[in-house]
Structures are given as structure tokens and as C-alpha cells.
A and B are shown apart, each in its own frame.
Chain A
Amino acid sequence: DVKVTQSSRYLVKRTGEKVFLECVQDMDHENMFWYRQDPGLGLRLIYFSYDVKMKEKGDIPEGYSVSREKKERFSLILESASTNQTSMYLCASSTQLTSGRSSYEQYFGPGTRLTVT
């Protein structure tokens, strides 16, 4: 059974703190993603990675950075947390396609609800 785990379900941090969100997948997937989910806005892509040490900015990368040192682990870093980063953060992974049919379906972790006070 495929599994994506996130280090915390709930997190409370103070403004200005450095925050680390960890995500681990056990499916040997090449691609990993970080999204934030806000009511009425759906999921917005922060960063993604298609290989170890590779990263690409998504739609809302400002205020965030990422790290992928191992294939199974993808970390999201809030360099200096601010109240407008209070949100649900979702990690996902997907397999990379070779030739032939492809699916692009993503597998999601349970989410981390981050509150910045």
C-alpha cells in the first residue's frame, strides 16, 4: 500500500521562527510536491522536485524553500514564518513516466496544519 507521511499533523509556531515540514514517501517515486491548501483557493503548488537535489518553483514559492537530499524525503522550509503562512500544507508524490501511457496521479500525505502566531 502506497504511503506518504508528514512529520506533524498540527504545528504552532511564532512569527519569525524557521519552520521545517518533512515528507517521506515509500513508493520510490521520482516526483514530489508541496502544496498549501486554503479555503476557496484549492491547492496551490509551492515547489516540486523531479529528482534528488532538483527543485522547481511552483506558483507561490515566495517565503519558502525546499530540500531533497534523498529520493524518499522532501522538506519544506519556512525561512521566517509569518502569519499569512498559516495554512494546511500537503505533500504529494508521483511516479515519473517513461515511454507509453502515463497517469500523473499524485499520492498525498495527511497534511500538516500550521498555525503561525
Chain B
Amino acid sequence: AQSVTQLGSHVSVSEGALVLLRCNYSSSVPPYLFWYVQYPNQGLQLLLKYTTGATLVKGINGFEAEFKKSETSFHLTKPSAHMSDAAEYFCAVSETGGFKTIFGAGTRLFVKA
């Protein structure tokens, strides 16, 4: 069965600092991996996705994530945090050929001035 673990329900960084949000997954088949962002009072929006091919994936707003099969990880990074990055971030996994997507519990990112 698939599962997703996001380490840290809350992460706080200073503006300009590196953002690192951790995600580990379990899947019995090659997964598709996603990061979504949710701003206050809004639905989720896709940040980036990994399906096949290059393991370093670039997304919107300067975010990127690297698929590491040996570590079953898909951590999200951004070199320099901006105040507008404050939001909740969800890692998600789906299996090829399946309809269902499993979401992690979410990590709320706080950015300090």
C-alpha cells in the first residue's frame, strides 16, 4: 500500500534562507510524485511533479524537488525563501495505472522577515 510521510508539520525559515521540506513515500510500483501548495482559504495548486525521466524536477515559483529512488524520498527545496512562500505544502504519490492519489499530512511553512 502506498503511504506518504512528511517530516515536520511546521517549518520556519527566515526570508532569503533555504527552504527544505521533506517527503518520504512507500510504493510497490514506480510512483508518480507531486508537490502541491495551498495558500490560505484556497484549494491546492500543483507546484511540480515527477513522472519519469529526469529525477530533478523544477516547478513554479523557484521550487524544485529531486526523486531519489534509493532513499524513497522526494524533498522540496527553494534556494531563497520569500514571504509569499508562506503556505501549506503537501507531498502526494500515485501509482501508475491507478486513480487514487495519497497525500501526506502537510507541512506549514512560515517565513520570518
Interface residues of A (CB under 8 A from B): 4, 9, 31, 35, 40-43, 45, 48, 50, 56, 58, 90, 92, 101-111
Q: Within the complex, what minimum Cβ distance (angstroms) separates A5 from chain B?
A: 10
Contact: B105 with A106, CB < 8 Å? no
Contact: B34 with A105, CB < 8 Å? yes
With CB as the reference atom, state the residue of chain B lying closest to A49: B99
Contact: B44 with A108, CB < 8 Å? yes
- List of B residues within 8 angstroms of A108 by Cβ: 36, 43-45
- Which of A42, A102, A105, A107 interacts with B105 by CB under 8 Å? A42
- List of B residues within 8 angstroms of A111 by Cβ: 41-43
Contact: B96 with A90, CB < 8 Å? no
Contact: A90 with B106, CB < 8 Å? no
Q: Would you give the 0/1 interface string for B44-65, flagging 1 where the beta carbon is closer than 8 Å to chain A?
A: 1110010110000000000000
With CB as the reference atom, state the residue of chain A lying closest to B32: A104
Do A43 and B100 contact each other (CB < 8 Å), given the known contacts A4-B43, A101-B52, A110-B43? no
**Counting chain A CB atoms within 10 Å of each CB, which of B46, B90, B99 scores highest?**
B99
26 A-B contacts (beta carbon < 8 Å): A9-B41, A31-B99, A40-B9, A42-B4, A42-B103, A43-B44, A43-B90, A45-B100, A45-B101, A48-B99, A48-B100, A58-B100, A90-B43, A101-B51, A102-B32, A102-B51, A104-B32, A104-B34, A105-B46, A106-B44, A106-B46, A106-B101, A110-B42, A110-B43, A111-B42, A111-B43
Contact: B103 with A43, CB < 8 Å? yes
Do A40 and B105 contact each other (CB < 8 Å), given the known contacts A58-B100, A105-B49, A109-B43? yes
Contact: A103 with B41, CB < 8 Å? no
- List of B residues within 8 angstroms of A35 by Cβ: 103
- List of A residues within 8 angstroms of B9 by Cβ: 40
**Counting chain B CB atoms within 10 Å of each CB, which of A4, A9, A41, A103 scores highest?**
A103
